[in-house]
Every structure is written in C-alpha cells, then in structure tokens.
Amino acid sequence: MGPFTRQCVRAIKYLQSLLHWIVTGPIFCVLLGIFVGWHVSAIISNQIEFGSEPKQSSDTVRIHENITNTLENETERVFPFEDNEHRNERIIADFVASKVRVFCWIATEESRHRTNAKAVKSTWAQRCNKHLFVSTRPDKALPAIDLGITNKKRSSWQKTRAMLQLIQDHFIDRYDWFLAAQDDSYVILENLRIVTDGLVNSPSCYGDSAKNEAEATMGCFQESRVRFVDTRDRNNAHS
C-alpha cells in the first residue's frame, strides 16, 4: 500500500469518527430535539385550529371597525366629491329645485332611525327642498317628529290626517308639492320635478286607488277640490 493510499484510508477513518461523534454527541441531540419539538407543536396547533370555529382575520375585523366608525361620524351629504364632470348636472338640478319646491314627508319609527331613516336622509332626502320624518319618537338629527299617535297599522289614517294638518298650518304656502314616502322608498327628485313642472297650478294628488284609508284621504282632499290621478299602468305597476 502506497503512501497516498494510506493517507486516503486515514482520512476516511477520520471522517467516520467525526460523523459518529456528531450523531452520538450532545449537539446532534439538541438539534434533533428542537426539530422534533417544532414539528410536534405545529401538528398540535393545526389540530386545534381545525377543530375550532373559523375566526375572522384581523384585516376583516379592522375593515368592519373602520366602516362602523365612519358611519358613526359621517357628515350627511349626497355627493361629497364635487367634480367638473357633474357640475352642469348640479346646475340644472338646483335650478329645477328652485322652480318646483317639494316638501318630503317620510314615515319611519324609532328602531329604524339609525338605519333606514339615516340612509334616506343621506341620499334622496337631501334633494327635497325640505324633508321631515314622522316617527314614534322625536329626533333632531333627522329631523323627526312624534305626532303622539299609536304606532299601529289601523292608525295610519290618523297619522296622515295629523301630518296634513301640520302641513296646512306651517308649510302649505312655502312649497308647491308634498311627497309622502316610507323609509324604504327611493325617489329621484330631479325626475319628479320634471314630471310635475308646469302642473303646479293644477290641483292634483298622485297616488293609487287603494281602499279604506286611501278613500278617507281622498275624501279629505276632495274637500279642498284636489283632483286624484291614478299613476298605475294596465299591468298595475306605477309609472
């Protein structure tokens, strides 16, 4: 055996001894323990998450919190961004609004002040020359008034009569048209004004031909010589 061969044999034996020391030595045991412990903890964590109810991500929770804070502190305004693209549309809408004055009377109740009523105020009610909510409790923020009438379906005519009296006493000479709506309605006031423009001097009341309470309303208006017009088409749909 030559000297080169003997050196190779010694090197191989040295590497074998080093590998044996690494495998059986304390460093390998520590590393092996860390590796096994990490994998065991990962498996246990996955099992716990799989068996529990799904949780919302922190991003989702933060988004909902931001939306809630925005709604709590928002300033009621229809179009917060004034841009050049819609400027001419606003000029026309404002001109028609000054020409055809509409008072909007919106029925709601206390439980919907922060939902339906707030949405109406933030959107189409801003297009009325004046709006007023009729509710089961007064609320200056809307604004809403309580007519002091029981909130029952059969008492809706009493509410209507009381509201008509309020309009007669305070608003009759200040507006051209009076719109009665619910807090789940959506009205495009610009279109309504165009429809009614030129009819201001015509004593008309637009609605449907419902029974009972509507008949009582009709009788009330007929005393004022108001002409009723049924706006439904032949398919019984409102135009």
Q: Report if residue 219 sits inside a domain.
A: yes
How many domains is the chain built from? 1
SS3 44: helix
Q: Report if residue 26 sits inside a domain.
A: no
Where the chain has pLDDT below 50, the residues are 48-56, 59-60, 62-64, 66-81, 239
SS3 130: strand
* Residue 211 phi, psi dihedral angles, 5° rounding: -95, 180
Contact 150, 159 (CB under 8 A): no
Answering whether pTM is above 0.85, one says: no
Q: Which two tokens stand for residue 173?
A: 């000479």
Q: Which two tokens stand for residue 141?
A: 């923020």
State residue 224's pLDDT score: 52
Q: Report if residue 64 sits inside a domain.
A: no
Q: Which two tokens stand for residue 169?
A: 């006493």
Residue 217 structural domain: 108-234
Amino acid present at 170? H
State residue 9's pLDDT score: 63
Q: Report if residue 49 sits inside a domain.
A: no
